[in-house]
Structure 1
Amino acid sequence: MTLKTYKPYTKSTRGTIILDRTGLWKGKPVKSLTAGINGSYGRNNLGRITSRHRSAGHKKKYRFVDFKRNKFDMPATVIRFEYDPYRTSNIMLVEYEDKTQSYLIAPQDIKVGSKIYSGRKKDIEIGNCMPLIDIPPATVVHNVEMTPGNGGVLARSAGTSVQIMSHDQGYTTLKLASGEVRKVQSLCKATIGAVSNPDQKNIKIGKAGRSRWLGIRPQTRGIAMNPVDHPHGGRTNGGRHPVTPWGIKTKGKKTRKNKNTDKYIISRKKKRGIN
Structure 2
Amino acid sequence: MALPKLFANLTITTNLISRRAINVCAINFASKPSLIKPKPGFGIAYRRIVHFPEEYTVKPLNVTNLAGRDPVSGRLVAKGIGGGIKHKYHWIAWLRDGPKEGPPIEEKVIQVMEDGCRTAHIALIGVGDKLKYILATENMKAGDILKSSRVLPRIPVRANEGDAYVLGALPIGTLVHCIEKEPGYGGLYIHAAGTFGTILRKNNDRIIVQMPSKRLFSFDQHCMAVVGRLSNVEHGSTPIGSPQRNRWLGNRPRSGLWKRKDGRHGRKIKPPKPIKEISFAGKKGQNAIQLTMCP
Specify the TM-score bucket, using the shorter chain as the normaliser. Answer: 0.5 to 0.7
Answering whether residue 122 of structure 2 is matched by residue 91 of structure 1, we say yes
Task: Measure the CA separation in 1 of the matches of 2:167 and 2:110.
Answer: 27
- Distance in 1 (CA, whole Å) between partners of 2:209 and 2:195 is 13
Q: Hey, what does 2:166 align to over in structure 1?
A: 131
What do the CA deviations read for 1:231-274 (whole angstroms, capped 9, x no partner)?
A: x9xxxxxxxxxxxxxxxxxxxxxxxxxxxxxxxxxxxxxxxxxx
Deviation at 1:134, TM superposition (A): 0.7
Partner of 2:177: 142
Q: Which residue of 2 aligns with 1:155?
A: 190
Other-structure match for 2:59: 33
Please identify, of 108-117 and 214-223, the stretch whose mean Cα deviation from structure 2 is larger.
Answer: 214-223
Pairwise CA distance, 1:171: 1.3
Assess if the C-alpha contact under 8 Å between 1:95 and 1:101 holds in 2: yes
Deviations along 1:118-165, one digit per CA (max 9) or x if unpaired, are 113464111110110111111111111122222112221111110001
Matched residue type, 2:105: M
Return the letter of the residue paired with 1:116: L
Q: Is the 8 A contact 1:158 1:195 kept in 2?
A: yes
Alignment pair present for 1:178 and 2:204: no
Cα distance per residue 1:2-50 (max 9 Å; x no partner): xxxxxxxxxxxxxxxxxxxxxxxxxxxxx84321122322112211101
Residues in 2 aligned to 1:127 and 1:141: alpha-carbon distance in whole angstroms = 9
1:104 maps to what in 2?
A: 134
Larger gyration radius, structure 1 or structure 2: 2
- Could you tell me how far 1:221 is from its partner in structure 2? 6.4
Are 1:33 and 1:102, in contact at CA under 8 Å, matched by a contact in 2? no
Tell me if the contact between 2:97 and 2:150 (Cα under 8 Å) persists in the aligned partners: no
Q: Give the Cα–Cα distance (whole angstroms) in 2 for the partners of residues 175 and 46 of structure 1.
A: 41
Selected match of 1:52 from 79, 86, 90: 79
Using the alignment, how far apart are the partners of 1:127 and 1:32 within structure 2?
Answer: 19
- Look up the SS of the partner of 2:65 in the other structure: coil
Which consecutive unaligned segments of at least 5 residues does structure 1 have?
A: 1-30, 225-231, 233-275
CA distance in 1, matches of 2:214, 2:194: 15
Alignment of 1:240-259 (within 5 A): none
Cα distance in structure 1, aligned partners of 2:220 and 2:240: 40
Q: Which residue identity does 2:147 align to in structure 1? A: Y
SS of equivalent residue, structure 1 residue 80: strand
CA distance in 2, matches of 1:211, 1:36: 23
Residues in 2 aligned to 1:94 and 1:74: alpha-carbon distance in whole angstroms: 13
Correspondent of 1:78 among 100, 106, 109 = 109
TM-score by length of 2: 0.62
The share of aligned pairs that are identical, in percent, is 27
Deviations 1:197-245 (A, max 9, x none): 1111121111111111111111136587xxxxxxx9xxxxxxxxxxxxx
2:68 corresponds in structure 1 to: 42
Structure 1 residues 84, 171: CA separation in 2 closer, same or farther (over 3 Å shift)?
A: same
2:126 partner SS: strand
Gaps of 5+ in 2: 1-56, 152-156, 265-295
Count of aligned residue pairs for this structure pair: 195
Give the counterpart of 1:115 among 125, 145, 158: 145
- Aligned counterparts of 2:58 and 2:118: Cα–Cα separation in 1: 19
